[in-house]
Amino acid sequence: MSERTLAIIKPDAVKKNAIGDIIARYEKAGLKPVAIRMMQFSKATAEGFYVVHKARPFFDSLCTFMSSGPVVVLVLQGDNAIKKNRDLMGATDPAKAEAGTIRKAHGANIEFNAVHGSDSPETAKFEIAYFFPQTDIVG
């Protein structure tokens, strides 16, 4: 079933000049970009995006990291896009990520882990709407 997911190329990966490599991996896996936006989050934008993690001990550090430099936010579309992207990303901790995954290739540690991907249809819906009006999504 074709679905959409939200991906973010995080500040660490943008700094490492990995934008092209990561988007190539999405395309090769059949995840078509249908919206792309480059921006730098304010702290408040990061806090609103990660509101589900508000009570976690790493919340403040995560939001500081996510607002530390430019990011690329994408809507990806394809069959089973949510799970496909999670598989492509690898485990949250790059040290535990499988060979061939984005986090294995580009992640430094459990916080600086290169990419974000929605984890369910409900979060994908919230996350896509957080950054993109319907009119800015093609296809």
Which residues are part of the catalytic machinery?
A: 116
Return the structure tokens found at 6: 């939200």
Shortest distance, position 31 Cβ to Mg ion, whole Å? 17
| Residue ranges in 38-57 that form contacts with ligand IDP under rule CB under 6 A | 53
Q: Which is nearer to Mg ion, 20 or 67 (CB)?
A: 67
Q: Least separation, in Å, of the C-beta of 44 and Mg ion?
A: 19
| Distance in angstroms (rounded) separating the CA atoms of residues 112 and 107 | 6
Burial class from Cβ neighbours inside 10 Å (0-12, 13-18, 19+) for residue 124 reads buried
Is 36 an interacting residue with respect to ligand IDP (CB under 6 A)?
A: no
- Indicate if the alpha-carbon torsion angle 33, 95, 113, 130 is positive or negative: positive
Positions that interact with Mg ion (CB under 5 A): 119
Positions that interact with ligand IDP (CB under 6 A): 53, 58, 62, 92, 110-111, 113, 116, 119
